[in-house]
Amino acid sequence: MIEIKTPAEVEAMRPAGRFVASVLTALEHAAEVGVNLLDLDALAHQMIRDAGATSCYIDYHPSFGASPFGKVLCTSVNDAVLHGLPHDYRLKDGDLLSVDFAVAVDGWVSDSALSVVVGTPREEDLRLIETTQQALAAGIEQARAGNKLGDISAAIGEVSRAAGYAVNTQFGGHGVGREMHGDPHVANDGRKGRGLRLQPGLVIAIEPWLMRGTDRIFTDPDGWTLRSADGSRGAHSEHTIAITDGEPVVFTARD
């Protein structure tokens, strides 16, 4: 069911967005060569405890997951492109790391993701990350009352394909509220003028993710981590936003 938030509820969602943004900023600074993925997860877990927030991931067990997730971050490295389960791995020079994070604060959820290169960057990795950011910005620009959901999806797809990347539509954005994942599904490609008419109070996560050489994925033996079918690297950018009578509100914007 698609939920429309009241203006008061939209305001009540802001603290969760600010907190998610602050954690991702801390993780971006902490992601250095030699740092263990489990240490990043522990840092986020401590920040959650200190804030009195609630992880959306640790007990999460959807139909596509092999078991409850058990960690508070998704940490996807190189050809791991989504849902990366933190494990005993130390970041190496040149690794492309994507971090996805969602929590509830006072019962309201925010969800966001970013990708960074650890140490020495490859030009093709920076271009991949930049394209996901540009696609996210294009999607947010279309997130206005009176537009259609397909306008968001089409904008993401146009930016991605213009940069030479294929688009996987199995996983994408989603409604956000008291739970992390709700209706509507926000695909990363689509047709303008199609689908749900956007109205003030709709809160969604928009999350383009791309792989450099393919649009196909497979599930790692850990039952969670999704990897590119050809071993190419992936990047992921995500914000939780609210449709308003004017400009979209980006709850998870980082300084």
CA distance 121 to 115: 12
For residue 1, is it within any domain?
Answer: no
100 assigned ligand-binding residue: yes
pTM for the whole structure: 0.96
Q: Which of 3, 15, 48, 7 is nearest to 176 (CA)?
A: 3
Residue 27 exposure: Cα atoms within 13 Å on the Cβ side: 35
For residue 255, is it within any domain?
Answer: no
Domain residue limits at 102:
7-250
The strand ranges marked E within the chain are 54-55, 74-77, 80-82, 96-105, 108-117, 173-175, 182-186, 203-206, 209-211, 217-219, 226-228, 234-236, 239-242, 249-250
Mean per-residue pLDDT, 21-41: 98
Mean per-residue pLDDT, 234-252: 98
For residue 2, is it within any domain?
Answer: no
158 assigned ligand-binding residue: no
Over residues 113-169, the pLDDT tens digits come to 999 999 999 999 999 999 999 999 999 999 999 999 999 999 999 999 999 999 999
181 assigned ligand-binding residue: yes
Q: What CATH number corresponds to the domain at position 56? A: 3.90.230.10
- What proportion of the chain, given as a percentage, has pLDDT over 70? 100
Q: Which of 221, 239, 232 is nearest to 85 (CA)?
A: 221
pLDDT band at 66 (very low <50, low <70, confident <90, very high): confident
207 assigned ligand-binding residue: yes
Residue 75 predicted with pLDDT over 90: yes
Kindly report the number of other CB atoms within 10 A of residue 124's CB atom: 12
Residue 185's pLDDT is what?
97
Domains contained in the chain, number: 1
Contact 214/79 with Cβ under 8 angstroms?
A: no
Residue appearing with tokens 């960057």: 121
For residue 177, is it within any domain?
Answer: yes
Residue 64's pLDDT is what?
83
Q: Which residues lie below 8 Å from residue 46, measured CB to CB, with a gap of 6+? A: none
Residue 255 predicted with pLDDT over 90: no
Residue 62 predicted with pLDDT over 90: no
Tell me what the pLDDT averaged over the chain comes to.
97
Residue 80's pLDDT is what?
98
Q: Which of 130, 25, 36 is nearest to 92 (CA)?
A: 36
Mean per-residue pLDDT, 54-71: 92
For residue 120, is it within any domain?
Answer: yes
For residue 100, is it within any domain?
Answer: yes
Residue 59 predicted with pLDDT over 90: yes
Mean per-residue pLDDT, 30-57: 98
59 assigned ligand-binding residue: no
Mean per-residue pLDDT, 204-216: 97
Residue 202 exposure: Cα atoms within 13 Å on the Cβ side: 29
